[in-house]
């Protein structure tokens, strides 16, 4: 299977931005700009925006995602949100293991693995983020770090379930910093992720997984990054909050 046969996914990660009314306004702005997209268009929004966002994108080609999910179905987990809650409000995707969660909120590969399995079990699609720190890249252990994350985050995830998984390669040093990995650096690691999946599963499974690049992707650099064989889409933070910029990235993925 080659790149052309994989589903390109352009997903916005809004982080802790936009109130429900602001979310509605932004989605109303984005919708007409991406209506002819030849890729999957997703907006991952704060929990409190989900209901409004799902309503706002009705009749459009935009899908809505959450930014995290707990692995238990219910219980004494104050402040957490279950996959059942996300399903009921109409979310389809869930970002998991984002570096901000790993850095600031104690997320580990073990909890990412639990969340990934719960999200898949609920019939939602996880966008699982992996990526190395700058220090790890400088120490030449990028591949070791990524291989470890892939092995742990997908431990016990079946080949069948991998059909619903999106992986986002997000070098931590490129997130929100304005520093983008070069297209060659992004391709190198995305190809490495695919090779790791091929060893863990099979070449067929690996060839079917959508692998995004994320890290200061914008309207100016998207086309070059997305032209690479193993870069199947993008997870976009800052630029996803500006309708024209996000739409330009969607357009770059649609050629």
Residues with a known catalytic role? 98, 170
| Residue 146 within binding range of ligand PEP, rule CB under 6 A | no
Query: Which of 214, 222, 245, 251 forms a contact with ligand PEP (CB under 6 A)?
Result: 214
Say which residues have a Cβ less than 8 Å from residue 88's Cβ, sequence separation at least 6. Answer: none
In the complex, the smallest distance separating the C-beta of residue 107 from ligand PEP, rounded to whole angstroms, is 14
Instruction: Look up residue 133 and give its DSSP letter.
Output: -
Q: Pick between residue 153 and residue 170 the one whose CB is nearest to ligand PEP.
A: 170
- Buried/exposed 89-118: b ≥16 CB within 10 Å, e otherwise: bebbbbbbbbbbbbeeeebebebbbbbbbb
Query: Which of 215, 219, 231, 249 forms a contact with ligand PEP (CB under 6 A)?
Result: 215
Say which residues have a Cβ less than 8 Å from residue 169's Cβ, sequence separation at least 6. Answer: 130, 131, 146, 186, 189, 190, 193, 211, 212, 213, 214
Considering only 82-90, 189-197, 222-230, 232-240, which stretch makes contact with ligand PEP by CB under 6 A?
232-240
CA–CA gap between residue 43 and residue 34 (Å, rounded): 12
Nearest to 235 by CA among 211, 252, 251, 209: 211
Q: Pick between residue 208 and residue 215 the one whose CB is nearest to ligand PEP.
A: 215
Residue 158, Ramachandran bin (φ over 0: left; ψ between -120 and 50: alpha; else beta): beta
| Residue 237 within binding range of ligand PEP, rule CB under 6 A | yes
Query: Which of 190, 238, 243, 246 forms a contact with ligand PEP (CB under 6 A)?
Result: 238
Tokens of 59: 């009749």
Q: In terms of C-beta density within 10 A (0-12 exposed, 13-18 middle, 19 or more buried), how is residue 88 classed?
A: exposed
| Residue 157 within binding range of ligand PEP, rule CB under 6 A | no
In the complex, the smallest distance separating the C-beta of residue 176 from ligand PEP, rounded to whole angstroms, is 4
In the complex, the smallest distance separating the C-beta of residue 84 from ligand PEP, rounded to whole angstroms, is 25
| Residue 175 within binding range of ligand PEP, rule CB under 6 A | yes
Query: Which of 40, 49, 107, 170 forms a contact with ligand PEP (CB under 6 A)?
Result: 170
In the complex, the smallest distance separating the C-beta of residue 157 from ligand PEP, rounded to whole angstroms, is 21
Catalog residues that contact ligand PEP under the rule CB under 6 A. 13, 15, 170, 175-176, 214-217, 235-239
């Amino acid at each position: 299977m080659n790149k052309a046969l994989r589903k390109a996914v352009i997903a916005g990660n809004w982080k802790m931005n936009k109130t429900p009314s602001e979310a509605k306004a932004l989605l109303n702005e984005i919708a007409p700009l991406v209506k002819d997209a030849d890729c999957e268009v997703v907006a991952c929004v704060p929990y409190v925006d989900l209901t409004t966002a799902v309503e706002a994108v009705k009749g459009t080609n935009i899908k809505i995602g959450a930014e995290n999910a707990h692995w238990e179905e219910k219980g004494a987990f104050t402040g957490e949100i279950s996959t059942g809650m996300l399903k009921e409000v109409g979310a389809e995707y869930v970002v998991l293991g984002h570096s901000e969660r790993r850095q600031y909120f104690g997320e580990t590969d073990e909890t990412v693995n639990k969340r990934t399995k719960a999200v898949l079990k609920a019939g939602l699609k996880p966008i699982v983020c992996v990526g190395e720190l700058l220090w790890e890249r400088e120490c030449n252990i990028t591949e070791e770090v990524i291989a470890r994350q892939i092995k742990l985050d997908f431990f016990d995830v079946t080949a069948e379930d991998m059909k619903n998984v999106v992986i986002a390669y997000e070098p931590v040093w490129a997130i929100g910093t304005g520093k983008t990995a070069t297209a060659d650096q992004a391709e190198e690691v995305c190809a490495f992720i695919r090779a790791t999946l091929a060893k863990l599963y099979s070449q067929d499974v690996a060839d079917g997984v959508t692998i995004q690049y994320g890290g200061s992707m914008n309207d100016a650099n998207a086309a070059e990054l997305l032209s690479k064989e193993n870069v199947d889409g993008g997870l976009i933070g800052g630029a996803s909050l500006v309708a024209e910029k996000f739409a330009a990235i969607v357009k770059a993925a649609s050629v």
